[in-house]
Amino acid sequence: MNRMTIRSETPADYAGVARVNALAFGSMEEPILTDVLRHRVRFDPDLSLVAEMDGQIIGYLLFVPFVARLDGQSVRAVGLSPLAVHPLWQRRGVGTRLLEEGHRRAAEKGYVYAFLLGHDTYYPRAGYHTHMFGSVETIVSPDDLPPAGSTDLEERPVQTDDLPLLRAMWETWFADVDLALEPEDSIVEWLSPAKAIRSVILEQRGEPVAYVRYEQGKAHSPHLWLARDTRAVPAALDYLARHAPAGVEAPALPLHPRSRAVKELLGVPFGERLTVWSAAMIRPLDDGHEALATYIADVAAGTRAIGMVIWPTEYQVAQAT
């Protein structure tokens, strides 16, 4: 490995990176995802790394910068996606070298932790803790939903002028949710690349009151659901009821059932469904960050509910066809 170089990616590397991603994963999802992630506002080319051997790209790593919530405060974090190694060079330390350099750079830039979904037998060797988050849903009984069509509700596309309201609604529902990823100041954050996924503003008497993002035919399980305030909740729930398929099970809202907003603003009885994934991992980049250390220890001990990660719309590229 003495001849291998780890360096920042440049635009001239894009074709080689796409080839490695395609060969490593056996599909075009990761090459397309990588390209889309390069367009995020916080994208940092210093955290987009290639492993090069004799002028050929043999590996690639991308750390995507985010601002996340932890104990109600904003902290800087990076999400790993993807890490790819050319099949001929796998199990020869290329991925380890990429991770080491990526962690070093992210730590130097002040990021508090890295997170990912990945193989739970591989990444712990690089310092990752498993079972740190997973699937989090707030369950509302169909009996507690407003009668379908009970509110005067219309939908329209998301517009740039909606961004302040969208951010305010996000703050309302996720301000105290551990690991929640703050949205970037871009309309791209609120639109999906997948044709089957609808992203709409809901209006009541001409006033925007909610935002819903869901896969067509699955409105009972939206990707994101935000109501302006407690008065708007019935209208936003009514929308789910009117678009849900017949005989649907209880709607599953992408909200944290332990959050202050759900307890104080939802206004209807609810249950919770928290599923921890072994593949959901966190690695500290700042060993002195007390809030992160406490979160990891408490979740591992089962004394704290897992946080909630809602991946940005770019990660829906697999559904874009």
Give yes or no for residue 321 having a pLDDT over 60. Answer: no
Gap between the Cα atoms of 65 and 58, Å rounded: 23
From 129-133, 226-230, 234-238, 302-306, the region with the lowest mean pLDDT: 234-238
Give yes or no for residue 273 having a pLDDT over 80. Answer: yes
Average pLDDT score, the chain: 94
pLDDT in tens, 129-183: 999 999 999 999 877 776 656 668 899 999 999 999 999 999 999 999 999 999 9
Gap between the Cα atoms of 294 and 298, Å rounded: 6
Kind and range of the H or E element at 203? strand 197-204
Task: Quote the tokens at residue 317.
Answer: 């590229």
Q: Note whether 305 and 176 are within 8 A (CB).
A: no
Determine the number of helices (DSSP H) and then strands (DSSP E) in the chain. Answer: 7, 13
Please, where are the H alpha helices in the chain? 14-25, 29-37, 94-108, 163-174, 233-243, 260-265, 290-301
Gap between the Cα atoms of 228 and 211, Å rounded: 8
The CA-to-CA distance between both ends of the chain, in Å, stands at 40
Gap between the Cα atoms of 294 and 251, Å rounded: 32
Task: Quote the tokens at residue 321.
Answer: 């066809």
Gap between the Cα atoms of 223 and 316, Å rounded: 10
pLDDT in tens, 195-209: 999 999 999 999 999
User: Closest Cα partner for 199 from 182, 165, 180, 224?
Assistant: 224
What is residue 33's predicted lDDT score, i.e. its pLDDT? 95
Average pLDDT estimate for 216-240: 92
Average pLDDT estimate for 70-79: 98
Q: In the structure, what pLDDT confidence band is assigned to residue 242 with cuts at 50, 70 and 90?
A: confident
Average pLDDT estimate for 30-38: 96
Q: In the structure, what pLDDT confidence band is assigned to residue 240 with cuts at 50, 70 and 90?
A: confident
What is residue 147's predicted lDDT score, i.e. its pLDDT? 65
β partners of residue 51: 6, 59
pTM, full prediction:
0.94
Q: Distances from the Cα of 271 to the Cαs of 4, 210, 231, in angstroms?
A: 52, 22, 21
Gap between the Cα atoms of 136 and 275, Å rounded: 7
137 contact partners, CB below 8 Å, separation of at least 6: 252, 253, 254, 255, 257, 272, 273, 274
Give yes or no for residue 100 having a pLDDT over 90. Answer: yes
Structural domains in the chain, CATH included, are 4-132+277-286 (3.40.630.30), 136-274 (3.40.630)
What is residue 148's predicted lDDT score, i.e. its pLDDT? 54
